[in-house]
């Protein structure tokens, strides 16, 4: 049967969903507040031909040719009403499939992100250094960076230069001058674009993803040479993010990279979107590492295992562990206990903290 893609995308937006999945011999599926749900009739699986036709209807001929040749495609497209979407099309079992992401049609104000606003404002005021936003797919990394960049765009006269695959949020120059390059369309690769970017006189650089050693090296160099550099990594916590960068290098270069990273790193925000107790939305839970002098010393001296303690006790600097963030959401009754445990990276410690909190509450209730 023919695919009424516009209707499904409208329904996705109306329900507050984030993604539409299409695969041959399956009905369409959406991701709603983090969970998958079928969309449409169970007895109406999609044909491979209809999916191919739908993909060809939203990407240009060059992108479609690339998909047929490589079996992979990342692109973005726009509906008539201005809604922007990201599409990842791929070949599975010989047929094309697609995951289509609905991109928010507005930037979030800093106060809406669910992060420490004071820390976010300090980031916006930074002149140089590396800010990492990490997390799994669909954890809100692009939204966080785009919202910070939007704040800089509104308030400072700088050249903001983004390199993305694909461009997700389109920035219109305000106080700042904004240029955006898309890998595969405007440039061959992240690494190549980053090498060229120094000649483009940027103040702020956004790297869509640090995928390989070459990109990591270029991003560190930019941060070291006086540019405020934002980048994403697919890592699950802040400590792992630091370790991932260091371990990407050969052993003989790791000492040098530790020194370079200690001098350039400013903040690591590791994010998860956690479903509400009422099932009607999600909130951001984030682990935050701020590169204080003591944290930088831990990076240089191969003591990254101590950074978790620094996060637990570094609240005055804006730091927090994921467990502390989850406990805050739990105490405000935004999420429930089972969800907090599900999303925790250290469930044993969270259980201890929950039992301690329960004990304190019981003790207070017994006071007369």
Cα separation, 253 vs 147, whole angstroms: 35
Q: Do 54 and 9 share a structural domain?
A: yes
- Token pair of 39 as six digits: 């969309």
Any domain includes 205: yes
Low-confidence ranges of the chain (pLDDT < 70): 1-2, 40-43, 357-368
Closest by Cα among 164, 51, 136 to 98: 51
Task: Specify the number of domains making up the chain.
Answer: 2
CATH assignment of the domain containing 81: 3.30.450.90
Whether 197 is in a domain gets the answer yes
- In DSSP terms, which residues pair with 131 in a beta bridge? 230, 267
pLDDT at 104: 77
Looking at 45, 77, 102, the residue that finishes a domain is 102
**Residue-number span of the structural domain to which 175 is assigned:** 110-353
> Are 317 and 263 part of one and the same domain?
yes
**Is 165 part of any domain?**
yes
pLDDT in the model for residue 365 = 43
Residue where one domain finishes, among candidates 102, 125, 145: 102
Q: For residue 70, is it within any domain?
A: yes
Q: How far apart are CA 90 and CA 21, in angstroms?
A: 11
For residues 116 and 89, membership in a common domain is answered with no
The answer on 334 and 255 residing in a single domain is yes
Domain co-membership, 168 together with 27? no
pLDDT of residue 41: 59
Q: Kindly report the CA angle at 112 between 203 and 34, in degrees rounded to 5?
A: 105
- 19: which strand partners? 31, 101
CA distance 318 to 362: 30
Give the pLDDT confidence score for residue 283 in this predicted structure.
94
Segment 89-135, tens digit of pLDDT: 999 999 999 999 998 778 999 999 999 999 999 999 999 999 999 99
- Can you give the pLDDT at residue 358? 62
Phi, psi of 25 (to 5 degrees): 70, 20
In a domain, 342, yes or no: yes
pLDDT at 279: 86
Token duo for residue 102: 């609905």
Within this chain, do residues 114 and 209 fall inside the same structural domain, yes or no? yes
Claim to verify: residue 84 and residue 133 sit in the same structural domain: no
Q: Residue 127: is it exposed, middle or buried by C-beta count within 10 angstroms (0-12/13-18/19+)?
A: exposed
Same-domain check for residues 86 and 27:
yes
Is residue 363 assigned to a domain?
no
304/301 Cα distance (integer angstroms) = 8
- Of 83, 102, 121, which marks where a domain is finished? 102
The rounded Cα 199 to chain-centroid distance in angstroms is 28
Region for residue 226 given its phi and psi (left: phi exceeds 0; alpha: psi -120 to 50; beta: otherwise):
left
Nearest to 148 by CA among 113, 173, 183, 172: 113
Domain assignment present for 361: no
Residue 367's pLDDT is 35
Distance between CA atoms of 61 and 310, rounded to whole angstroms? 52
- State whether the Cα torsion 133-135-139-142 is positive or negative: positive
Q: What is the 3-state secondary structure (H, E, C) of the chain?
A: CCCCHHHHHHHHHHHCCCEEEECCCCCCEEEECCEEEECCCCCCCCCHHHHHHHHHCCCCHHHHHHHHHHCEEEEEEECCCCCEEEEEEEEECCEEEEEEEECCCCCCCHHHCCCCHHHHHHHHHCCCEEEEEEECCCCCHHHHHHHHHHHHHHHCCCEEEEEECCCCCCCCCCCCEEEEEEECCCECCHHHHHHHHHHHCCCEEEECCCCCHHHHHHHHHHHHCCCEEEEEECCCCHHHHHHHHHHCCCHHHHHHHHHHHHHHEEEEEEEEEEECCCCCCEEEEEEEEECCHHHHHHHHCCCHHHHHHHHHHCHHHCCECHHHHHHHHHHCCCCCHHHHHHHCCCHHHHHHHHHHHHHHHHHHHHCC
The token pair at 329 is 């959401």
296 in Cβ contact with 262 (< 8 Å): yes
Domain co-membership, 131 together with 187: yes
Domain check: are 91 and 163 in the same one? no
> Are both 153 and 264 inside the same structural domain?
yes
Regarding whether 271 and 149 lie in a shared domain, the answer is yes
Q: Cis check for the bond before 166: say yes or no (omega within 30 of 0).
A: yes
Q: What is the CATH number of the domain that holds 114?
A: 3.40.50.300
What is the pTM for the complete model shown?
0.88
360 is a domain residue: no
């Amino acid at each position: 049967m023919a695919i009424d893609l516009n209707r499904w995308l409208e329904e996705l937006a109306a329900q507050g969903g984030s993604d539409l999945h299409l695969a041959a011999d399956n009905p369409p599926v959406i991701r709603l507040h983090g969970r998958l749900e079928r969309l449409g009739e169970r007895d109406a699986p999609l044909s491979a031909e209809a999916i191919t036709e739908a993909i060809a209807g939203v990407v240009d001929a060059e992108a479609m040719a690339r998909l047929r040749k490589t079996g992979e495609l990342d692109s973005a497209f726009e509906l008539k009403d201005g809604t922007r979407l990201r599409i990842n099309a791929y070949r599975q079992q010989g047929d094309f499939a697609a995951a289509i992401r609905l991109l928010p049609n507005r930037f979030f104000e800093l106060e809406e992100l669910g992060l420490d606003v004071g820390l976010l404002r300090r980031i916006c005021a930074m002149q140089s250094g590396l800010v990492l936003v990490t997390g799994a797919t669909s954890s809100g990394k692009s939204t966080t960076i785009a919202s910070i960049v939007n704040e800089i765009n509104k308030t400072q006269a700088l050249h903001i230069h983004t390199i993305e695959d694909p461009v997700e949020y389109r920035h219109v120059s305000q106080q700042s001058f904004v240029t955006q390059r898309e890998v595969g369309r405007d440039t061959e690769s992240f690494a190549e674009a980053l090498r060229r970017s120094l000649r483009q006189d940027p103040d702020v650089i956004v790297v869509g993803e640090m995928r390989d050693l070459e990109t990591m090296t270029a991003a560190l160099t930019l941060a070291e040479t006086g540019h405020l550099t934002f980048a994403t990594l697919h890592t699950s916590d802040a400590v792992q993010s630091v370790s991932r960068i260091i371990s990407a290098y050969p052993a003989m270069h790791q000492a040098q990279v530790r020194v370079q990273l200690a001098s350039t790193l400013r903040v690591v925000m590791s994010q998860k979107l956690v479903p509400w107790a009422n099932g009607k939305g999600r909130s951001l839970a984030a682990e935050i590492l701020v590169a204080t002098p003591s944290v930088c010393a831990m990076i240089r001296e191969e003591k990254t295992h101590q950074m978790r303690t620094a996060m637990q006790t570094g609240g005055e600097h804006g730091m927090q562990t994921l467990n502390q963030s989850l406990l805050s959401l739990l105490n405000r009754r935004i999420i429930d206990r089972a969800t907090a445990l599900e999303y925790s990276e250290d469930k044993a410690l969270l259980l201890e903290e929950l039992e301690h909190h329960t004990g304190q509450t019981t003790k207070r209730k017994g006071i007369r």
